[in-house]
Amino acid sequence: MCDPHWSHVDEYLALADAVGARIGHVFETHVQADHLSGAVALAKQAGAQIYLHEAADVAFPHVVVRDGDEIQLGNDYVRVLHTPGHAPEHVCLLVGDRTRGPDPWFVLTGDTLFVGDVGRPDLHGTEDATGLAGQLHDSIWTKLMSLHDAVEVYPGHFAGSACGRWMSAKPSSTIGFERRFNPALQIRDRDAFVEYALRDLPPAPPDFATIRLQNAGR
């Protein structure tokens, strides 16, 4: 399970039960600011472990992951890509199914890459949005854009969320389509990208800082 919402924990458990599966691993792409996380409640009820990047400052038990770590799930694997930018601890999760082939199948991009947009670098309790925007550029170009065009992209949000500006209403895409048509990915120059990522940002919703603290268990 990845980025569970607190209000849907019972549904996740019922869904897993219905297909005879057990939720043994709960991944958080980052400490969320826009919704109450269900990670702790879900992990407790399912007897699962929570996985977060080593840069995450949280006060609950979890497995610390770093860039390049791989978690084995039967025939599948989850490979951790550290992609700071939206938040310093942000990770994207690259998933593969070895029964289909050795190459990755899809990537959970959280709030790093959306369909038609990239994540906001100004929402996660830091004053250094410019520095994070530069890191976002590097994460995208060194990690995500090095993936094969056929890799499917499943972001954390689509249109309607305050976590981006010009997200598509389409919930998923591919690396190849975003490489060709995502406006943010047409800007290769780092400084120009930083300027773009900071442009026209709506004010951060007032409760984001409080939600983030609560999700950190503080």
Question: At its nearest, how many Å lie between Fe ion and the CB of residue 100?
Answer: 30
111 near Fe ion (CB under 5 A)? yes
Place of tokens 């410019």: 130
Q: Which residue, 89 or 111, has its beta carbon nearer to Fe ion?
A: 111
Q: Which residue, 46 or 118, has its beta carbon nearer to Fe ion?
A: 118
In the 3-class helix/strand/coil scheme, how is 180-207 assigned residue by residue? HHCHHHHCCCHHHHHHHHCCCCCCCCCC
Q: Which residue, 37 or 174, has its beta carbon nearer to Fe ion?
A: 37
Helix (H) or strand (E) holding 181: helix 175-181
With CB under 5 A as the contact rule, which of the stretches 13-21, 38-46, 106-114, 125-133 interacts with Fe ion? 106-114
Q: Which residue, 104 or 119, has its beta carbon nearer to Fe ion?
A: 119
Q: Which residue, 3 or 46, has its beta carbon nearer to Fe ion?
A: 3
* Cα(214)–Cα(218) distance, integer angstroms: 6
* Cα(109)–Cα(101) distance, integer angstroms: 21
Binding mask 63-102 for Fe ion (x = CB under 5 A): ----------------------------------------
Residues in binding contact with Fe ion, number by CB under 5 A: 1
* Cα(137)–Cα(191) distance, integer angstroms: 9
With CB under 5 A as the contact rule, which of the stretches 16-24, 48-56, 110-118, 172-180 interacts with Fe ion? 110-118
Phi first, then psi: give them for residue 28, nearest 5 degrees.
Answer: -115, 125
Burial class (CB in 10 A: 0-12, 13-18, 19+), 196: middle
Binding stretches for Fe ion (CB under 5 A): 111
